Each structure stands twice: as C-alpha cells, then as structure tokens.
Amino acid sequence: MDQSAKKSFNFVNLSHPGELKDEQTKLRIRHLAMTEVGKLRRKPKTRRARNEMVLQLREPTSTGPTNTLVLERFGAGGVDPFGPFPIEMNDVSRALIANIFRNNSNHQKLLRGSWYPIGISDAAVFHSVLANSQLYIDMCRKGALVCKDSPESLMHHHKTISLVQKMVNDPRKHRSDVLLGGIGALMCHDFIIGANETYTKHKEALVKTLELRGGIDTITKENMRITLTWADLAGSFQMDTPPVFPMPDKWLEDSWFHPSLPRPYSPISLTWKQEMPMQIDWISIFDDIFQRTYLEQALSDDQRESAVTTGCWMEPILIRLLSIRPLYKGSTPENITEEVCRLGTLLFLCPLWREMGANPVRGGVFLEKLLWLFNHYMIDWGELKPLLIWTVYFAAIEAPGAFEKDQFVFMLAMLMNGMQIKEWDDLIQLLKGVLWVENIFAGGDSTVRDGVMAIVSVASMGEDGA
C-alpha cells in the first residue's frame, strides 16, 4: 500500500465541551487542520480522495443579539454530533443542548455533573432536559423568570409526560431507575416555572415509587441519588417546606469540618449564646456558615467547580435551615427571634446560591413569612438588634417588586434611625459584623441605599427641627 494513502489520526482530548472555546485548544485544532490541508494539496487527486468529506471548523460569529443561538450545520455550537443521545437529534435539539454548556448561558449549572448524565440516559428525561433548556432561553430573552411553558418547551414537556405515563402503566418499570429519573425530571421542570401544586404531586409520586423499591437507599448510583435529592431541595426551598430525603454521602462529607480547622470569633454569635443559651438550632447553622465563608472566602474557583459537579457546602446548609422549625415549638419571643433569623439567613444565601450556578432562586416565600411575623409580633431584640437589621437588609435586597421592597426599605430606615446610624457606610460595617461576603455583596443595591437614606435624612431633619 502506498504510504501516502495511509491515514494518520491526531486527537485533541477534551474533558468538557466548553474547552473548545479555549484559545490554546483552538490554535491546536487549527494547526492540525492546516497540516492536513497541506498534505491534501500535495497529494494526487485519486478517486478515493475525491470521495472524502472535509469538515470545516468555524468560529461562531459575534454579531447579533447575545441571546441568539448560533447554529452550526454540523455539531450545533460545540455539541458532539455523534454523542449517545437517546433520541434522534436535529439542529434545534442540538442548539438546546449547546445552550446548557455555553459559558454565558443562564442555564442551571448547579450539579450539572450529576444531572446531565441522568438526562441523556433515557428519552423521557432527555425531553425534559430539552424543555428546561428552552425555558432558560425564554428567561434570557425576557430578562425575567418564567411561570409557564412556551410552545417549544411544552412540546418536549408533553413527550416527557407521555413517556413517564407509559412507564407507570408498565409494572416492569415500577421499580426502575428510569422511572425515578423521569419523575425527578418532572419535578425539576415544575420548580423552574414555579408550579408548586404540580411539583407537590410529582414529589408524592416519587416518594411512593421509592417506597415500592424499598426506600431511597436502594439507589446505588451517586449521580441519581444527588439529582433526586436536589429535586427535593429545590422545591422545598421555593415553598419553605422541610425536605423529605436524607442527604447523600457526598453532601454529608462536604458539610463536615475537621476539628483542627480554626473557628473564627463571631461577636454576634457569642451574644446570642449569652442571651438565648437554649436556642441552639439556628445558631449552630449560622456558626457553620460563618466558618465556611471565613475559611474558603465562600466562592473560590474550587467551590464553583464543585458546585457544578456534585454540590458543595451550600446544599447541606440549606437542607438544615429548611428542616428546623422554631415556631413548631410555640410563639415565644425566643422562637420568633430564631424564626426571623432563619428566614434572614435563607435570604442571605440566595445571592450566593445564584453565584454558584443555581437558577431560578425564588425567595418570595421567605419575604411573605417575614412580613407576617413583623405584622403580628412585637418583640424586644435588645443586644441582638444587629441580627434584625441584617435580616431586613437582605429582605430589601431580595424583594422582587416595588411594593415589597418599599416596606423593607422603610423598616430598615426606621431601624437605622432607632440605633442612631446616620451614614450608609456605618450600616454596612454593622452588617459586616454579622455575616458578609465582600465579593458578592460589595456595592449592594443602589435603589435600597437611595431609598433608605432618603427616609433617614428626612427623619434627621425632623429631629433637628424638633
């Protein structure tokens, strides 16, 4: 055989589709491609050569709106055209998968290393992955959360429902992982659009399915275990209900501190333990958050990478916060104080969770419960008043509408006035003395600052006039 006819292969190994955007990777691919082009130009045009197909790699154009998907004829934006997808793919479905891995995508990145392998394992779950990707594209285009399906996402969602229903009707599938994955996918879809009633029904179905097969411990695949626990946590967070599934081993490991690690000093924690030594549930969680942010600066690159793969310390903390219920013990001032701080901590964690890749993160239920508590109970916070101000500040930051935001802005201004805090910088220093993450909260919300300071200045003028 002629040596010139022999084929040589050069491989560029990638661990993630996003690496195609790396400059060194692109240079490597171009170098190999041009080497082959040079060889072809030097070779005689044999019959075999005339029948070869040449694929050209092109950079997506940067023109057009940022939320427009650039469709490549072969591969659709970095998606392997020969990937092991459970359905026949076309340009639209490839684009929906490509959206999941785009660096500037608003798609749910949290735990992608766990849920994506589940998503491509079965057609029912995969159609839900496509439906959810379309919902994230819709959110990006609208610049707001969505509360219902678009025609495009609804098409895939209906296919998921139909395929899951077939599994439910087949006794052979009642204890299968594919049925668990399908129900979990429906729960995730409900969570994205905020369909809490439907989510609750699907969660009940998942619990019954797990009971049929002997409980959640019968799940042997870590990625399935993590994915289902995430589906449980996501809806529980959105409705502020206790999660029903115990934490996976990976999350338990991430929540554990080695005894040799330093425990930073927190003045507000010491004050709490002196004022309310019997209220230990919330303060133990607060201490762990304080230590975690102190040791790891909350959101290092390693933490972001861990969040995208299997989770990190955030998920165990959220499960613990959602599991404690101070008001179940009664409406004493101590229990009310602890409940306010529980809600405030959940609101404080909302921006951090988003930064780790969670989307959507809806904190509306925590705001509603706070307003209800403030309207029905008047308690003396004493030396713990910084915790009250800290809670109200993050409620004002998280409030989605002008009406709710104005209420918390007014409360914050009145609390500042009561503590003789006249400058915004002084308020920020007080907040930092409670719990703060500089690279997330620096700058804050200018509308909150301007609204608070306008009220504070008017109140100060009234005092001066008096």
Q: Which helix (H) or strand (E) holds 28?
A: helix 23-42
Q: Which helix (H) or strand (E) holds 236?
A: helix 222-239
Task: Say yes or no: 455 and 348 in one domain.
Answer: yes
Per-residue pLDDT band for 13 (boundaries 50, 70, 90) equals low
Domain's final residue, options 214, 246, 278: 246
On whether residue 39 sits in a domain, the answer given is no
Task: Say yes or no: 175 and 290 in one domain.
Answer: no
Task: Say yes or no: 312 and 403 in one domain.
Answer: yes
- Res 273 pLDDT > 50: yes
Task: Say yes or no: 408 and 457 in one domain.
Answer: yes
On whether residue 76 sits in a domain, the answer given is no
On whether residue 196 sits in a domain, the answer given is yes
DSSP string, 34-89: HHHHHHHHHS---HHHHT-------PPP--S-TTSPPPPTTTTTT--TTS--SS--
Task: Say yes or no: 357 and 405 in one domain.
Answer: yes
pLDDT digits (tens, 9 = 90+) for 290-332: 988 876 655 566 666 666 666 678 899 999 999 999 999 999 9
Counting Cα atoms < 13 Å in the Cβ hemisphere of 388 gives 21
Per-residue pLDDT band for 16 (boundaries 50, 70, 90) equals low
Q: Residue 360's closest CA among 198, 196, 164, 170?
A: 196
pTM, to two decimals: 0.80
On whether residue 15 sits in a domain, the answer given is no
Name all contacts of 8-15 with Cβ < 8 Å and 24+ positions apart.
10/35
pLDDT digits (tens, 9 = 90+) for 355-388: 888 999 999 999 999 999 999 999 999 999 999 9
pLDDT digits (tens, 9 = 90+) for 32-63: 555 554 444 444 444 444 343 333 333 433 33
Domain's final residue, options 246, 279, 297: 246
On whether residue 367 sits in a domain, the answer given is yes
- Res 217 pLDDT > 70: yes
Q: Which has more confidence, 252 or 197?
A: 197
On whether residue 70 sits in a domain, the answer given is no
Task: Say yes or no: 239 and 314 in one domain.
Answer: no
On whether residue 405 sits in a domain, the answer given is yes
Task: Say yes or no: 124 and 160 in one domain.
Answer: yes
Task: Say yes or no: 280 and 230 in one domain.
Answer: no
Q: Cα dist. 132→115, 150, 155, 206 in Å?
A: 12, 10, 11, 19
Please report the pLDDT score of residue 445 as a whole number.
Answer: 81
Return the ∠ at Cα 368 (arms to 366 and 371), rounded to 5°.
110
Residue for token digits 């029948």?
Answer: 51
The contacts of residue 439 (CB under 8 Å, 6+ apart) are: 297, 298, 299
- Res 106 pLDDT > 60: yes
Please report the pLDDT score of residue 454 as a whole number.
Answer: 94
Task: Tell me the two tokens of residue 269.
Answer: 């924690």
Domain's final residue, options 246, 277, 311: 246
Task: Say yes or no: 241 and 363 in one domain.
Answer: no
- Res 334 pLDDT > 80: yes
Task: Say yes or no: 273 and 241 in one domain.
Answer: no
Task: Say yes or no: 305 and 440 in one domain.
Answer: yes
Residue 140's Cβ-count burial label (10 Å; 0-12, 13-18, 19+) is middle
CA–centroid distance for 238 within its chain: 12
Q: What is the total count of domains within the chain?
A: 2
Backbone φ and ψ of 86, nearest 5°: -80, 0
Range of the domain at 277: 267-465
- Res 127 pLDDT > 70: yes
Q: Which has more confidence, 11 or 444?
A: 444
In angstroms, the CA 458 to CA 455 distance is 5
pLDDT digits (tens, 9 = 90+) for 233-248: 999 999 999 999 999 9
Angle at which helix 177-193 crosses helix 196-213, to 10 degrees, equals 160
Please report the pLDDT score of residue 276 as a whole number.
Answer: 95
On whether residue 291 sits in a domain, the answer given is yes
In angstroms, the CA 108 to CA 357 distance is 6
Q: CB of 239 within 8 A of CB of 230?
A: no
In angstroms, the CA 58 to CA 143 distance is 29
Residue for token digits 């004022």?
Answer: 275
Task: Say yes or no: 331 and 438 in one domain.
Answer: yes
